[in-house]
Structure 1
């Protein structure tokens, strides 16, 4: 029977722990599960809640920090110092696993020793609503070459994983290390890419593997400056991933991947700047900083279709764009079609 170590970092989320721990221990028949709750000096009663759970179940251990160490150090403490099962899961205290998730993941990893980690589809949910129904009947799995998966991530320019749905091979985690302290907000993106540079990647098809909690505060909060921070953090993650892949990728491969993601990030920055005009938010969105970021990523940014779309919107002006936006093609539109719309608008004035 395969063994799985589940690390649950907790900071002020003690009221969610019973659900989180329960999802790792219950409904996972077929694997040997152990859980570590790491409380990062929560100022509330989270540590007491963790200890009560451990007292009731010998499979649960608790580690309490006397001083706050931050989320990345807390993650790595559990992943690198404590986990000793065949496979490891990092599960936030406010998230949950779907019944059978660990069994399905272990079966894939058992069958494919060349796979470094596997994941499946996560379901998003809110505290105020009941858990959505989950698909638990697997339709098989896919195993992708690690370098192929890595290239896909560089082409997309963003991560495709929320985290609780991932199960990692423990010996690979120890070999390659944990979260990089230079990446407080995009360390997971870099770590999955680092793993893919050294091993293949597995995906569980047609099944839901985890519940990812979306808090109401984060849903309602509008942080326009965060758009630029997000892009910067992602750029840093890809840069670090390339730094750490020198032993598996040659210089030409790394340069090609760098060009791919820098061009993609530049396009995304310009698209966000253009959308600020569409939505009448040019005073809230850091448009000029987004353009500067695009230029830094891709010096030939003026040749990108998104820049042409942004230039069109600048000519029309921020006051007119919210009204004309339904008529303006997306910033991703073909150059000829957008130019044709611009020519007709200038001729007719409508």
Structure 2
């Protein structure tokens, strides 16, 4: 039986930590869980101690000073020894059977670098909902490395839920660490690098849950979303300058990425204008710099390429609700 190592990095999410850990520890597979608390000022440390006291599979690292999130992410990569690895934020959760389903696919498909599935969203402090039974042997689609990367380039965004991504540990260690210099797109940069080492399996089932709370409706999040698009452009440039430079048609893919990010920035600026939010000018400048044509002709083709266009247009007109750009 394959094994999975799960990292839960935490900072001041003590109110969600137990539910997140329980969603991991209830999985029907051989696993270990590492909780790294980054010097939280709430009751996180006490909650983590109680979780560890109740299950020998749990390891704790309680920091006395905040070293930043990337230190936790990368410490977890060093710690991982199982066949597969998952980074799960403390406010998110797994659905029953998620680890076994992913492991079964990767056991069957040794060329797969990582798997992901669908997600379910919950609001605020709502309890984790009951997820209906799902087949243990789920259907899945295999994406070739280049196809997966090209899809990102065309849209300028990954449309996959991060909490559902379960990675082959040997490939995670080859791909390396999260880059702290990309605080808003470090995950994108890593997923591009991981894709160089194998195919990607998209599972036809719900694998994880994402909680929307507090800051998801704040102006701070909107500022982070703007920074995310700016950093996505930097992540793509770094990838094609370094790890992805030897891909066939790397120059073509780099141009596609610039276009996709420019058109994403353009429409993000439009949604900021609709809401009366600041930041639209900065996004338009990025769009015009990466693709000057957007200053003359609106990139309508981009909306046709995105399968979630209708949902996002509706969301843009909902007062106070800003979709998460990493998952959109």
TM tier, shorter chain? 0.7 to 0.9
- TM (normalized to structure 1)? 0.79
Q: Which runs of 5+ in 2 are unaligned?
A: 301-328
Asked if 1:118 is matched to 2:115, the reply is yes
Q: Distance in 1 between matches of 2:145 and 2:132?
A: 26
Change (3 A) 1:6 1:297: same
The superposition leaves residues 9-33 of structure 1 with CA deviations (integer Å, 9 ceiling, x where unpaired) of 111122322211111111x22x201
What corresponds to 2:319 in structure 1? none
Q: Distance in 1 between matches of 2:21 and 2:87?
A: 12
What corresponds to 2:75 in structure 1? 77
Larger radius of gyration: 1
What corresponds to 2:24 in structure 1? 24
Moved more, 218-227 or 39-48: 218-227
Change (3 A) 1:160 1:276: closer
The alpha-carbon deviation at position 189 of structure 1 amounts to 1.1
The alpha-carbon deviation at position 297 of structure 1 amounts to 0.8
- TM (normalized to structure 2)? 0.84
Q: Which runs of 5+ in 1 are unaligned?
A: 308-350
The alpha-carbon deviation at position 56 of structure 1 amounts to 1.4
What corresponds to 2:100 in structure 1? 103
The alpha-carbon deviation at position 61 of structure 1 amounts to 0.6
Aligned length: 299
Asked if 1:292 is matched to 2:292, the reply is no
Report if aligned partners of 2:184, 2:224 keep a CA contact under 8 Å in 1. Answer: no
Report if aligned partners of 2:229, 2:265 keep a CA contact under 8 Å in 1. Answer: yes
Q: Distance in 2 between matches of 1:230 and 1:292?
A: 15
Report if aligned partners of 1:135, 1:208 keep a CA contact under 8 Å in 2. Answer: no
The alpha-carbon deviation at position 59 of structure 1 amounts to 0.6
Report if aligned partners of 1:126, 1:216 keep a CA contact under 8 Å in 2. Answer: no
What corresponds to 2:143 in structure 1? 144
In the alignment, which of 47, 61, 84 is matched to residue 87 of structure 1?
Answer: 84
Give the secondary-structure state (helix, strand or coil) at the position aligned to 1:92: coil
What corresponds to 2:315 in structure 1? none
The alpha-carbon deviation at position 73 of structure 1 amounts to 1.2
The alpha-carbon deviation at position 128 of structure 1 amounts to 3.6
Report if aligned partners of 1:8, 1:38 keep a CA contact under 8 Å in 2. Answer: yes
The alpha-carbon deviation at position 258 of structure 1 amounts to 1.4
Give the secondary-structure state (helix, strand or coil) at the position aligned to 1:164: helix
Change (3 A) 1:192 1:44: same
Taking only aligned residues, the RMSD between alpha carbons, in angstroms, comes to 2.2
What corresponds to 1:322 in structure 2? none
The alpha-carbon deviation at position 136 of structure 1 amounts to 4.2
Q: Distance in 1 between matches of 2:146 and 2:256?
A: 14
The alpha-carbon deviation at position 116 of structure 1 amounts to 0.5
Report if aligned partners of 1:41, 1:65 keep a CA contact under 8 Å in 2. Answer: yes
Report if aligned partners of 2:39, 2:65 keep a CA contact under 8 Å in 1. Answer: yes
What corresponds to 1:53 in structure 2? 51
The superposition leaves residues 245-270 of structure 1 with CA deviations (integer Å, 9 ceiling, x where unpaired) of 246514xx221111112112222223
The alpha-carbon deviation at position 304 of structure 1 amounts to 3.3
Report if aligned partners of 1:274, 1:306 keep a CA contact under 8 Å in 2. Answer: no
| Mapping of residues 1-350 of structure 1, within 5 Å | 1-26=1-26, 28-29=27-28, 31-79=29-77, 81-138=78-135, 139-205=138-204, 207-219=205-217, 221=219, 225-246=223-244, 248-250=246-248, 253-276=249-272, 279=274, 281=276, 284-306=277-299
The superposition leaves residues 165-196 of structure 1 with CA deviations (integer Å, 9 ceiling, x where unpaired) of 01100011111102111111111111111111
Higher relative contact order (CA 8 A, sep 6+): 2
